[in-house]
Amino acid sequence: MRSTMTAVLERAALVTDELATEPYELPWAQEARFFVQAHELTGTLELTTEISPDGLTWCPADVPVLRAETPGMTSWLVTGFGQWLRVRCRVSGDPGAAARLRIYLVGKS
């Protein structure tokens, strides 16, 4: 039987410019999926997946940058990563642009 595990990385994070989630280790997982739920969103939300071999130094993963402009859920798959994952969330637009985010990370062996 395969293993799976869901982590709630953020529950109601208010992002007005940029937020990188805390480093999360998934050394056992072959695949992972982010779910970013924008409960509130004004402006543009840009989501960049980042990977790290040590939890200290990061680079973009081999995943396209995703964008959202309305509240709702955005999800994407990540494979072939090295141990640590995080997502960098940027909000841009008119003054006052902001996002209220719940972020899940699901790993599967």
Partner 1 sequence: MSIAAPAAYAGLSKYDPLGRILCFDRFDSTTHGWTELIGNYNGQGDLGTVDDHMRDFRPPQLSSCSFFDVGTHGTLSGNYALKLATRAYRGHTATGIRRLTMAGRGRVRIETYFAFKAEATVGHELPASVAWDGNRHPSESQFGAFTVATDICADNGVRYHNVIRYQNTNLDGEMTQRWMYPVVPEPTPRDHQEGKFALPYAADFTAPDPDDWRYFDEPLEMCVNEVPTKINWHYLRWDIDTSTRSNVELRLNDRVMDMSDVPVPIYPDRYSTLDNLLNFYFSVRTHANIRNFLFLDSVLISVDW
And the tokens for 12?
């109601």
C-beta of 20 vs 65, nearer to partner 1: 20
Burial tier of 9 (Cβ tally within 10 Å: 0-12, 13-18, 19+): buried
Residues at the contact surface with partner 1, assessed by CB under 8 A: 3, 5, 7-9, 11-12, 22-28, 53-57, 83
**Least distance (Å) from partner 1 to the CB of residue 27?**
4
C-beta of 68 vs 105, nearer to partner 1: 105
C-beta of 5 vs 77, nearer to partner 1: 5
Nearest to 86 by CA among 38, 40, 36, 28: 36
